[in-house]
């Protein structure tokens, strides 16, 4: 199993569709303060099932939807997808590529999808059970924590 891609649309500061391709090797997200690095990590946690708005630096879950700016109107939904290469069938699905998607709408409705098929949050959690992947299973190393030689 290999993480291939992260797609975000309307999630926090990402009003337009944003795609991050992960290639074999090491991938690093770098940028100045305010560029959205934390929003990327929160998008991953969110699509994997994070239920605490506070953990996503919000007051309520709807706060993950792009709220607008001086030059852009608010968007009515947020969507995040993680796409995995599954040639080795590490994930227990008979697909060579697996996508997991979460959407939330301004009216409070939300959707979870596996390979574009509607499912429950429990199905996503169960899919990654015993895989080592989940909303709490990745590491963020900030620049302040790196050792300098």
Tens-level pLDDT at each residue, the chain (149 residues): 888 999 999 999 999 999 999 888 877 788 888 888 889 989 998 998 888 888 888 899 999 999 999 999 999 999 999 999 999 999 999 999 999 999 999 999 999 999 999 999 999 988 988 665 655 555 454 545 544 44
Bridge-based pairing of strands 97-105 and 110-114 is antiparallel
Task: Identify the pLDDT of residue 95.
Answer: 96
The CB-side HSE value for 142 (13 A sphere, CA atoms) comes to 6
Q: Sketch out the chain's domains with CATH numbers.
A: 2-130 (3.40.50.300)
Query: What pLDDT is attached to residue 11?
Result: 96
Given this model, what pLDDT does residue 15 score? 94
pLDDT of residue 136: 53
Q: What is the pLDDT of residue 135?
A: 52
DSSP 74: P
The end-to-end CA distance of the chain, in Å, is 34
Q: What is the pLDDT of residue 36?
A: 86
Nearest to 51 by CA among 42, 61, 66: 61
């Amino acid at each position: 199993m290999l993480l291939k891609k992260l797609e975000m649309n309307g999630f926090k500061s990402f009003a337009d569709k944003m795609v991050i391709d992960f290639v074999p090797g090491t991938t690093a997200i770098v940028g100045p303060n305010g560029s959205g690095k934390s929003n990327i990590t929160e998008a991953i946690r969110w699509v994997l099932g994070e239920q605490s708005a506070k953990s996503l630096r919000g007051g309520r879950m709807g706060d993950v939807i792009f709220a607008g700016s001086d030059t852009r109107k608010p968007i009515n939904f947020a969507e995040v997808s993680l796409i995995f290469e599954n040639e080795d069938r590490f994930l227990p699905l008979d697909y060579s590529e697996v996508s997991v998607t979460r959407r939330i709408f301004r009216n409070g409705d939300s959707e979870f999808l596996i390979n574009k098929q509607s499912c429950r949050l429990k199905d996503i959690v169960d899919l990654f059970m015993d895989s080592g992947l989940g909303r709490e299973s990745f590491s963020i190393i900030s620049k302040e924590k790196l050792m300098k030689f």
